[in-house]
Amino acid sequence: MNKIKNENLNFWKKVLRSFIVLGCIGGFIVAVYFILVWTGLWDKLNSVDKLRVMILDLGFWGRITFVLLQFLQVTFIPIPSTILTIAGAIIYGPLQGALLSLSGILLGSTLAFYLGRKFGRKLVVFMVGKESCDKWVNFLSRAKYTFFLMMLLPMFPDDVLCLVAGITNMSWAFFVVTNIITRPIGIFLTCYLGSGEIIPYYGWGLVVWGMILFIFGFLMWLVTKYEKNIENFLLKLFKKKS
């Protein structure tokens, strides 16, 4: 009888703990959102020009704010990461903008994985939705090494994948190494190409951008269509390397 009571007590403690965690995170997200709306920053986050003006007006605190925004877009707020990254490249130059973006995104990615690992499926469902959670959990559970390729391609939801990866059997070591390798590649390419200095957004540049988008879309289709073949190939490759 005491054993049953203890089990029931532990169950309700877990339920209460889950509600407290979800409530705190939900309250934090809502508070940040209303602060952004109240200060007028929310409208600026969807425009490179408005975002550039806002960050420049902050002077010294602009860099800290920029890193914080990159951190938040990975974890709690659906801010377009590409717009932020390109804005950083325009404001601070490709090199410094890439390093600032990398700092915020790596910190955010690590926290997202930790949240998934620490608080489990309930939190992930709360943050990304049940359908999205089930979809990517099933995918990553059978295609862990394909996660490496997905983090390289810009059309996959990297931030959702980092959170969902925390509730799979993916190890911390594999997750961290994957991010350290893939994140800089994507961020530096976005900063140096997205600024428009190398490939302009007019004339011949539009043709090149169209080809780039087509290639990325085709690669994304290959990854989702042949993930079993890709996973087996990468698994054999990693085993040979190890």
Q: What is the pLDDT of residues 178-231, one digit of tens each?
A: 999 989 988 888 888 876 677 777 777 778 778 877 877 777 777 777 767 776
Among the ranges given (42-56, 80-94, 169-183), the one the predictor scored with the smallest mean pLDDT:
42-56
List the domain boundaries for the chain. Answer: 40-241
Q: Enter the tokens of residue 94.
A: 């490709």
Residue 230 CA, chain-centre distance (Å), reads 22
Report how far residue 143's alpha carbon sits from residue 138's, in angstroms, rounded to the nearest whole number.
9
Most confident of 78-82, 105-109, 117-121: 105-109
Task: Please give the residue that has the higher pLDDT: either 238 or 125.
Answer: 125
Helices marked H in the chain — which ranges?
Answer: 2-39, 41-44, 48-57, 61-75, 81-92, 94-119, 121-128, 130-142, 146-152, 158-165, 172-194, 204-225, 227-241
Report how far residue 90's alpha carbon sits from residue 52's, in angstroms, rounded to the nearest whole number.
8
Q: Enter the tokens of residue 132.
A: 């999205």
Q: What is the DSSP letter of 203?
A: T
